[in-house]
Amino acid sequence: MGSFLTNNPYRRSSGQKQFNLPSLVDVVFLLLIFFILTTTFTQVLTKLDVELPKAQAVTEAKTQDTVIEIGKDGQFAYNGEIVTVQELDKQLAQLAVNSPDEVIIIRGDKEVAYGQIVKVMGLCKSHQLGRLAMAAVQEDGAASE
C-alpha cells in the first residue's frame, strides 16, 4: 500500500508532498461501511406488531435489555421470539439465575388488556426480577423505553 503523502513526479525537487487521493478515498469508504454496519445492529428486537401508548416523559433503552412484547391478541414474545406463557415463565426463571439484575422492558400494545401486562409483571416478580420498565412512545412520535 502506498503512503497518503507522495512526491509529485511532475515537480522538480520542490520537496513538497501531495495527498494520494485514491488511498484517502479508500479509507473514507471503509469508515463509511463500518458506521453503516454498526448502526443497523443497534435496533431493538421486535417480533410482534405492537403499537405503543404515548407518554410525555420517556428515556432511551439499552439494546442489551430483555424485551417482552404483548400483542393486541395477547400473544407474547421474548427477545424477538414468540413464546407461550409457560415458555415465558421458563425464560424468566433462566434469566433470574443468569442475571437477576437485568432490566426487563415490557412492550405492550396500547389496545392490550391490562390483565395481560399484570400477568407478565407477576411472572417477573415471582422470579424476583424487579427491574421492570414499560415501553412508550414520546408524544411527538419518537419511540423509546
- Residue 76, C-alpha cell as written in the block: 407474547
> CB-based burial of residue 89 (10 Å sphere; 0-12 exposed, 13-18 middle, 19+ buried)?
middle
- One digit per residue, pLDDT tens: the chain, 145 residues? 455 555 555 555 555 667 677 788 888 888 888 877 776 554 555 555 666 666 655 556 555 678 999 988 888 999 888 999 999 999 999 999 998 888 898 888 888 888 888 999 999 999 998 888 888 777 764 554 4
Rounded to two decimals, what is the model's pTM?
0.57
Q: Return the bridge partners of 118, or none.
A: none
Give the HSE-up count for residue 48: Cα atoms under 13 Å, Cβ half-sphere.
25
Confirm or reject CATH 3.30.420.270 for domain 54-144, answering yes or no.
Answer: yes
- Determine the pLDDT at residue 42: 46
- Determine the pLDDT at residue 46: 59
